[in-house]
Structure 1
Amino acid sequence: LDRYPLADDLGRRFGLPVKLDHHPRALLVGDRWFGAGRGVKQFAVVYTGEVLGGAFYFDGHLYRGTAGAGGELGHTFVQLDGELCRCGRRGCWDTIATLSWLRREAAAAGLPEPALIDSGRLADMAARQVAGAEKLLDRYACNVAVGIANLQQTVAPNIFILHGDVVLGGARLLDAIARHVRAMVPPRPGSTIEFIAGDAGDGAALLGAAGLVISELLQLPI
């Protein structure tokens, strides 16, 4: 489907307006209209799960970048000569902050049923003091924090709404991510960093997808 005009094709077939966009951008629009991003001038969305992605909202506008390429956060570099990524390059953030990394490390740590591990299960194991769980949870939090710290240093959105797997980890994981980010980012006047747990599922993305269509029909800025 590379370069195939899918949205136009579906629109013709169904006789309805169709918008095609990046999943994290749909999350952001959902947050912007219906969630924690309402009334906020700038924030960033970070999604983790099987893949990692993100989106930015700056000065009242969804940032898309040249040719809509903005927000490919999973393929920003965090480790020179790091692990081989699915994109064919090494050291992408995606290689250390997604479920594939977490499950592989859970197996190496001898945790039960590593193939089923997610942040929620790991946080529960850590709370029950299962050997190795707390250490792995903190490593995962640090890996997620590395990319967020780079974003804060580069564009300083100051508000990060997290979606996907990390939300399942609850306050235990969110607090650990926040702690690591604040340790990595030098404090500056007026630069308080806020972390908000968004949607672990697809609710915000579905609302945002509808919002993309509505905004075009009503000519509303996103």
Structure 2
Amino acid sequence: MSDKEEGSRPTKRTGRRPGGADTRGAVLEAARTEFAARGYEKASMRGIARLAGVDAALLHHYFGSKEQLFLAALDFPVEPATVVGLILAGDRAEVGERTARFVLTMWEQPEVRDRLLAVLRTVVGSEQIAELLRGFVVRELVTRLAAALEVEQPELRVELVLAQIIGLAVARYVIAAEPIASADAEDLVPLLAPTLQRYLAG
């Protein structure tokens, strides 16, 4: 091979990966790896960026925050901040009904339900994912909501609400236990609301 031919051979570029669809996929894969290895608390945007071979600023451009990146990596369709805002908005005397209606409306949307059920099945089958999701839920939902509730044992009460909702989801959408599986969502709201009201408002 001549010197001219040798010199015309393209050189392999090194450095950080540019933006693009493949870059977003690489970031999500790196995020899943980093979150699984370190947990939600200890994983960092900088560490995920380093693993993906991109600049940390690109993560903020795509996802905005670690919370948003986690939701995207887990394909989780509900933002905790939205849930907290909805529960705390309005009259506290109606918080139980507001929460029950929001939960049932959300689960009745097929595309949201499918993604939530996928997460639920993954959590049940993997202790590692379960631990990761616990850390995320405690930090982004339980702690935020409990801090605004004027009741005794607020963290415990919020987690009891979550237990109630998860139990309902399993019975209605996973096990399909009758008559709860075929009951109209509007009929379930007034039955579920008083229990959630007692947990959230005392």
TM-score by length of 1: 0.29
**Which is richer in strand?**
1
TM-score by length of 2: 0.31
Q: Whose Rg is larger?
A: 2
